[in-house]
Amino acid sequence: MRLDRWEWPKREGWLDIAWVAFALANLAAMAYIATWETVPFHFIWVSLTLLYGFRVWRTRPTMWVLGAVMATTGTFILIDITRGAQPWGELTEVPLMAAMFLAMVWHARRRLTAMEEIERVSGENLRLLERERRFVQDASHELRTPITVALGHAELIERAARDPMVADDARVIEDELERLRRLADRLLLLAGQEDPDFLHRLPVDVGGIVLDAYHRWAATPRRWLLGDLDEVQAEADPDRLAVALDALIENAVNHTRPEDSIEMSVRRSATTAVISVRDSGTGISRANLDRIFHRFARADPGRSRNAGGFGLGLSIVRAIAEAHGGSVAVRSVPGEGSVFEILLPARRSQLPPADQLSREREPAASGESGRGG
């Protein structure tokens, strides 16, 4: 609703009609029941003020209604005064009640203006976020091609180089280009998390995805451990889930030394599949636990980019988990290590044997209870 428009608002007009009928009834009471004194008068003004609190009229209708109510109520009080039914002091009630109504008008219009400003700012923020998302998507797409071309040339230079220093420099270029490609891929993934086709869900064996990740990372110099792998399935995108798990493992690698251990496991907790990555590394302070899943946030800002990454890995984990209807959790003790968990809804059709047995027994138990009654 624009405050500088003059026409009468058309929505919820039945409230205005009901109030007009109520006001006319009270005016009739003022005219024919003089013993009521100014009770109907106050009913009219109080109801008008309450109505305006719910229905902020525009300028011209407000002024017309205020003038009409002042004129009619003042006229009826003046008639009672001439009849000797009311003292002259009662006439001062009209400007006092009008002042009260104007105060309501001022506050209501201030509130409406503030709400319109909030809606405008919110709409502008949404447009900016959408433009930012599209920019990140476009930029990531555009970056991937030149990065791939440059990486190919760097690999050719490394293989053809006879000078060891040239080969080493080429390997450094390759490493940096690989990091840039990972950054572009992660930015593209985060930018597309709101798209309807972000996930392609399939019934997947969660333990199998964890086992595949274990084999992929086993060559990295750490003490790799494989914990319990419960048989649990989930309706999930296996590729996205593998990306999230790799991001957790990469985070564990970045915060551990070669002699530290990293353990992966899967367990079922009620209707939830829990993927766990436990490490014995440096751990995370309590002050940083609340921010590590934010974009470009790192648990230790003092770490170099080479060791600490770009700060997008854990935000990708959270985005993928939430897209599946799940969540992420972390427990950490500085100096002792961390435990990261991805919690996903497990498939309802696949229940552990104990749960199946309890469900099969429930109808029989209820039937026996009914016969006992």
pLDDT in tens, 275-325: 999 999 988 888 888 778 876 555 554 444 444 454 678 888 998 999 899
What does the block give as tokens for 11? 């929505």
CATH number for the domain running over 202-353:
3.30.565.10
pLDDT band at 107 (very low <50, low <70, confident <90, very high): confident
Rounded CA separation 255/244 (Å): 17
pTM: 0.55
Write out the DSSP string of 294-339. Answer: STT--S-TTS-HHHH--S-HHHHHHHHHHHTT-EEEEEEETTTEEE
pLDDT higher than 80, residue 132: no
What pLDDT shows up at residue 252? 92
- Return the domain boundaries, the chain: 1-192, 202-353
- CA geometry: angle 320, 323, 329, nearest 5 deg: 60
What pLDDT shows up at residue 123? 86
